[in-house]
């Protein structure tokens, strides 16, 4: 039952990802990506990590994709223009990277090496209470660094937008 549900969800998620890549309209791509996020969130739920699932939806689908949509819609760049490729070196690099990923995934699949100790208690990160305790003991430093990272993002946004403040429209 759970396996069947997993397979359906996984297929839907992959399907959404493929549709996202193949869409010509950038807004449609964004919508497919949102669907993909939902699929991933359901997969998190199946892994008994409800907190992560909710964060996945709130942050990715609810915040980051909204930002993407803003950029796409406000720049009017959704009609995938058939222009000359501005980044000619991009295609070969992308091909090499993609190939590398496939090779690595294949390697991991066929030569499992030392198996990662599969945690018998998937609940370890599941419940918010347990997560909080981990966050404020084992993962304290990464947690504090996150705030610096967020600060940098905010300052970057301010600096970039303030520069182009001249010539306001609408």
Partner 1 sequence: MNIWVRLITLLFVSLILFLATTTAFAYLTLFERRILARLQNRVGPNRAGPGGFFQPLADALKLFFKEEITPAQADKAVYTIAPALAMIPAIVLFAVIPFGAYLDLSFLLGEAARYVPIQLADVNVGVLFLLAVTSIGVYGVTLGGWSSNNKYSMLGGIRAAAQMVSYELALGLSILVAIMLTTTPTTQEAANASLCSLMFGQQPVAEISALSTCRIVESQGGWWNIFKPTGLLAFGIFWLASTAEVVRAPFDLVEAEQELVGGFNTEYSSMKFALFFMAEYIKLIAISAIGVVLFLGGWRGPGVDLLYSLGYPNVAGLVSLGYFLLKLIAFLFFSIWVRATLPRFKYNQLMDLGWKRLLPISLGLVAVTAVFAVVTQDMNPYIAGLFGGFRR
Partner 2 sequence: MLSNYAFIGIFAIAAITFPLLPLILSRFIRPRRPTPIKLSTYECGLEAMGDIWVQFKVQYYLYALAFVVFDIETIYLYPWAVAYGQLGLFALIEMAIFLLILVAGLVYAWRKGALEWI
Question: How far out from the chain centre does Cα 128 lie?
Answer: 21
Q: What are the Cα distances from residue 26, in Å, to 14, 65, 71?
A: 18, 12, 10
Q: What are the Cα distances from residue 55, in Å, to 37, 130, 133?
A: 11, 16, 17
Among 16, 36, 39, 126, binds partner 1 (CB under 8 A): 126
> Per-residue string for binding with partner 1, 83-102, x by CB under 8 A?
--------------------
Q: Which two tokens stand for residue 142?
A: 């990464």
User: Helix 26-46 and helix 2-22: axis angle, to 10°?
Assistant: 160
Residue tagged 């991991």 (tokens): 108
**C-beta closer to partner 2: residue 88 or 168:** 168
**C-beta closer to partner 1: residue 10 or 78:** 78
Degrees to nearest 5, angle at CA 163 with 161 and 166: 100
**Residue 61 binds to partner 1 (criterion: CB under 8 A):** yes
Q: Kindly report the number of other CB atoms within 10 A of residue 3's CB atom.
A: 8
**Residue 45 binds to partner 2 (criterion: CB under 8 A):** yes
Residue ranges in contact with partner 2 by CB under 8 A: 45, 48, 50-51, 55, 58-59, 62-64, 66-67, 70-71, 73-76, 78, 128-129, 131-133, 135-136, 140, 143-144, 146-148, 150-151, 153-155, 157-158, 161-162, 164-165, 168-170
Residue ranges in contact with partner 1 by CB under 8 A: 25, 27-28, 31, 34, 50-51, 53-55, 57-58, 61-63, 66, 69-70, 73-74, 123, 126-130, 170
């Amino acid at each position: 039952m759970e396996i069947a549900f997993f397979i359906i969800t996984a297929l839907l998620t992959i399907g959404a990802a493929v549709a996202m890549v193949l869409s010509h309209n950038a807004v449609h791509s964004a919508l497919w990506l949102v669907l993909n996020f939902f699929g991933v969130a359901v997969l998190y739920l199946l892994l008994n990590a409800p907190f992560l699932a909710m964060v996945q939806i709130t942050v990715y689908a609810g915040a980051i994709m909204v930002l993407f949509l803003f950029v796409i819609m406000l720049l009017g760049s959704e009609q995938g223009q058939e222009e000359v490729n501005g980044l000619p070196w991009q295609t070969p690099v992308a091909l090499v990277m993609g190939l590398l990923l496939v090779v690595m995934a294949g390697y991991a699949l066929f030569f499992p090496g030392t198996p990662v100790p599969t945690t018998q208690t998937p609940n370890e990160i599941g419940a918010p209470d347990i997560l909080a305790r981990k966050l404020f003991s084992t993962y304290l430093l990464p947690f504090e660094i996150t705030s610096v990272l967020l600060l940098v993002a905010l300052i970057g946004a301010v600096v970039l937008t303030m520069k182009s403040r001249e010539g306001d429209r609408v």
